[in-house]
């Protein structure tokens, strides 16, 4: 997240900031009206990537708690692993992962829609 | 109008639509198709003949399983919190690193990046050590 946003911040054009400085815009005004709208597409892309990786998280949960105690930290990926390998119930595991895929698809589809709007706004088309 | 674009401008869409898109589809379809076909079979026919009757009831059974619903809820809550936390911490950190000049700025940025170099199991090990002492089952 930090790396993506940092790269986005460094790629922002300087001229709007110079104009705001000449017009006497405050730091808050510059942040709220220039930086955030221009950075919104980068933020949304970072959000999409972060959300995708965290929804598919398996390694940390499996290595630490294995979904326990009980099912308090059970994620879909770990539940699917438990179905697929210890019980060899692949036909129970794959639908779970396909559901997860569908959910991630829908969330990312919505976020990409916002990203397109934000990109248009950042380029001044709206 | 098209003549202004040159030969690359004309060939680009053809290359993309005729070669790249079918290549991507060919790469993606077998694995997705395999997953879809296996997901509608019971475990007894995991290696079915070329055609076997799909059992779509498996999807309904899976979605009604208490473990699945619970794990999906956990997943959404944990990932939502993780994303919110990374936004709250990451955006101001990146803003400070990108906008303010201070000593060691580049070193801090590199330190952020350096956590990505470490093998993931290293981070898991420290989490496991912590959880074994103060974990959710204690």
CA nearest to B87, candidates A1, A35, A59: A1
DSSP B60: H
Does A35 fall in a domain?
no
Does A115 fall in a domain?
yes
**Residue pair B52/B41 in contact by the 8 Å Cβ criterion:** yes
Give the number of domains in chain A. 1
Q: Domain of residue A97: give its range.
A: 43-122
Query: Is the pLDDT confidence value at B138 over 50?
Result: no
**Positions of chain A with pLDDT under 70:** 125-126
Is the CB of B114 inside 8 Å of chain A's CB atoms? no
What pLDDT, on the 0 to 100 scale, is given for residue B64? 66
Q: Between chains, do A54 and B83 touch, taking CB under 8 Å as contact?
A: yes
How far apart are the CA of B9 and the nearest CA of chain A, in angstroms? 24
Task: Kindly state the average pLDDT of the residues B44-64.
Answer: 58
Of the listed ranges A46-50, A93-97, B12-16, B70-74, the one predicted with least confidence:
B12-16
The fraction of chain B above a pLDDT of 70, given in percent, is 51
Residues B38 and A80: their CA atoms lie apart, in Å, by 14
Does A23 fall in a domain?
no
Does A74 fall in a domain?
yes
What pLDDT, on the 0 to 100 scale, is given for residue B54? 54
User: Which of B42, B68, B128 faces A79 most closely, judged by CB atoms?
Assistant: B68
Residues B64 and B83: their CA atoms lie apart, in Å, by 28
Does A114 fall in a domain?
yes
CA dihedral B55, B61, B62, B65 (to 10 degrees): -170
pLDDT, one tens digit per residue, over B77-103 is 988 998 899 888 888 888 888 888 888
Residues B57 and A47: their CA atoms lie apart, in Å, by 35
Residues B29 and B102: their CA atoms lie apart, in Å, by 51
What pLDDT, on the 0 to 100 scale, is given for residue B58? 64
**Residue pair A105/A86 in contact by the 8 Å Cβ criterion:** no
What predicted TM-score, i.e. pTM, was given to this entire model? 0.67
Task: Kindly state the average pLDDT of the residues B55-64.
Answer: 66
Interface of A with B in 44-83 (CB under 8 A): 46-47, 50-51, 54-55, 57, 59-60, 63-65, 67-69, 71-79
Q: Between chains, do A68 and B38 touch, taking CB under 8 Å as contact?
A: no
Does A1 fall in a domain?
no
Does A76 fall in a domain?
yes
Is the CB of B2 inside 8 Å of chain A's CB atoms? no
Does A24 fall in a domain?
no
Is the CB of B118 inside 8 Å of chain A's CB atoms? no
What pLDDT, on the 0 to 100 scale, is given for residue B35? 64
């Amino acid at each position: 997240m930090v790396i993506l946003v940092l790269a986005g911040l460094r790629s922002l054009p300087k001229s709007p900031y110079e104009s705001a400085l000449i017009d006497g815009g405050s730091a808050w005004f510059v942040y709220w009206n220039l930086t955030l709208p221009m950075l919104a597409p980068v933020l949304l892309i970072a959000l999409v990537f972060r959300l995708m990786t965290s929804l598919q998280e398996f390694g940390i949960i499996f290595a630490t708690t294995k979904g326990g105690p009980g099912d308090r930290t059970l994620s879909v990926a770990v539940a699917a692993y438990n179905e697929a390998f210890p019980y060899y119930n692949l036909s129970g595991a794959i639908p779970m992962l396909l559901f997860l895929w569908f959910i991630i698809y829908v969330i990312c589809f919505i976020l990409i829609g916002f990203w397109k709007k934000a990109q248009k706004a950042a380029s001044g088309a709206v | 109008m098209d003549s202004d674009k040159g030969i690359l401008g004309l060939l680009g869409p053809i290359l993309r639509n005729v070669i790249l898109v079918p290549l991507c589809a060919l790469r993606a379809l077998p694995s997705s198709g395999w997953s879809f076909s296996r997901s509608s079979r019971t475990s007894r026919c995991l290696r079915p003949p070329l055609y076997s009757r799909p059992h779509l009831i498996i999807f309904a059974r899976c979605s009604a399983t208490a473990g699945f619903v619970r794990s999906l809820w956990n997943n959404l809550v944990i990932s939502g919190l993780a994303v919110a936390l990374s936004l709250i911490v990451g955006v101001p950190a990146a803003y400070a690193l990108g906008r303010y000049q201070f000593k060691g700025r580049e070193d801090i940025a590199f330190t952020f990046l350096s956590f990505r170099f470490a093998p993931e199991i290293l981070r898991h090990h420290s989490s496991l050590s912590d959880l074994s002492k103060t974990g959710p089952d204690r």
